[in-house]
Amino acid sequence: MSNFTIPLHVSERVAQLGQRIRVARIRRGWSVVDLASKAGINRNTLTALELGKPGTAIGVCFTVLWALGLEKSLDAVADPDTDVHGKALEASRRPTRVGKPRKTGNDYDF
């Protein structure tokens, strides 16, 4: 891995997601081996995900959520419709005044 440093807040959120996945697994009465098998991954990879290891691939995370039946919980992640800041920036770049449409010489006026 490169010299990339994950911000503390991001690291905390990754750990929180890992804990949530662990709770979901335990609530279903599944062992690490059970869930890893259902997701088609190695049990060490699942353990790394549950421990909040930031190097765990996002595809693994999505696959585990799918195996738990929680993939719909991803629908709100980075939803452009809820991106208030991005929408405000986009709106600030729109023209503030729109001129009247001009008629061209080819228009037929009946």
The answer to whether residue 2 scores a pLDDT higher than 60 is no
Q: How big is the CA angle at 46 (ends 39 and 1), to the nearest 5 degrees? A: 115
Q: Which residues contact 19 (CB under 8 A, 6 or more apart)?
A: 50, 52
* Contact of 63 with 41, CB cutoff 8 Å: yes
pLDDT, residue 35, reads 98
* 8-92 CATH, one of 3.40.630.30, 1.10.260.40, 3.40.50.150, 3.90.470.10: 1.10.260.40
Q: Residue 24: which of 57, 73, 78 has the closest Cα?
A: 73
pLDDT in tens, 6-16: 999 999 999 99
pLDDT, residue 9, reads 96
pLDDT above 70 as % of the chain: 85
Q: Residue 21: which of 78, 75, 54, 62 has the closest Cα?
A: 62
Task: Say how far apart CA 40 and CA 17 lie, in whole Å.
Answer: 19
Structure tokens at 106: 């080819």
Q: List the chain domain ranges.
A: 8-92
pLDDT, residue 104, reads 65
Q: Residue 22: which of 52, 42, 44, 54 has the closest Cα?
A: 52
The answer to whether residue 103 scores a pLDDT higher than 90 is no
